[in-house]
Amino acid sequence: MSSAIDDGIEVNRKPGRKNLVIAGSSAAVLMLLVVGTVATVLNQSAEESGGVSARSMHSTSKSVQMICASTDYRQTCESSLSKAVNSSSDNDPKAILHAAVSVVVDEVGKAFAHSRLLDSNNSRVKSAVQDCLTLFDDCKYDLKRSLESIIAHAATDHLSKRSHDLETWLSAVISFEEACVDGFPEGELKAKMKAAMKKARELSSNAVAIIGQVSSFLSMLDIPGLSGRRRRLLTAQKEPALAAAAAGLKEDGLPQWMSSTERRVLKSHHKLKVKPNATVAKDGTGDFATISAALDAMPSEYKGRYVIYVKEGIYEETVNVTKKMANVTMYGDGSKKSIITGSKNFVDGTRTWQTATFSVSGDGFIAIRLGFRNTAGAVKHQAVALRVKADRSIFLNCRMEGYQDTLYAQAYRQFYRGCVISGTVDFIFGDASAVFQNCIIVVRRPLDNQQNIVTAHGRVDRQQKTGFVIQRCRILPEQGLTEAAAHKANVRSYLGRPWKEFARTVVMESHIGGFIHPDGYMPWEGEFALSTLYYAEYNNFGGGSNVSTRVPWPGFHVISRREAERFTVGNFLYGADWIPATGAPFRLGMYTRE
Active site residues: 426
* Cα angle for residues 126, 130, 131 (degrees, 5° grid): 115
8 A C-beta contact, residue 495 and residue 237: no
8 A C-beta contact, residue 290 and residue 281: no
Sign (positive/negative) of CA torsion 248, 249, 254, 258? negative
Proportion of the chain in helix, strand, coil states, percent, rounded to 5:
35, 20, 45
Quick check: helix, strand or coil at residue 355?
helix
Distance CA 57, CA 559 (A): 43
List residues bridging with 441 in a β-sheet. Answer: 421, 475
8 A C-beta contact, residue 446 and residue 452: yes
Query: Cβ atoms within 10 A of the Cβ of 532, count?
Result: 16
Work out the end-to-end distance of the chain between its first and last CA atoms, rounded to an integer number of angstroms.
39
Distance CA 129, CA 183 (A): 8
3-class DSSP string for 280-297? ECCCCCCCECCHHHHHHC
Backbone dihedral angles phi then psi of residue 32, each to the nearest 5 degrees = -120, 120
8 A C-beta contact, residue 189 and residue 120: yes
Helix axes 74-86, 60-68, angle to 10 degrees: 150
3-class DSSP string for 388-432? ECCCCEEEECCEEECCECCEEECCCEEEEECCEEEECEEEEEECC
Q: Which amino acid is at 165?
A: D
8 A C-beta contact, residue 108 and residue 139: yes
Distance CA 213, CA 18 (A): 19
Each residue of 396-432: b (16+ CB within 10 Å) or e? bbbbbbbbbbbbbbbbbbbbbbbbbbbbbbbbbbbbb
Q: Residue 566: enclosing H or E segment and its boundaries?
A: none
Distance CA 394, CA 78 (A): 39
As a dihedral over the C-alpha atoms of residue 377, residue 381, residue 386, residue 389, rounded to 10 degrees, the angle is: 180
* Cα angle for residues 581, 582, 588 (degrees, 5° grid): 75
Backbone dihedral angles phi then psi of residue 418, each to the nearest 5 degrees = 65, 30
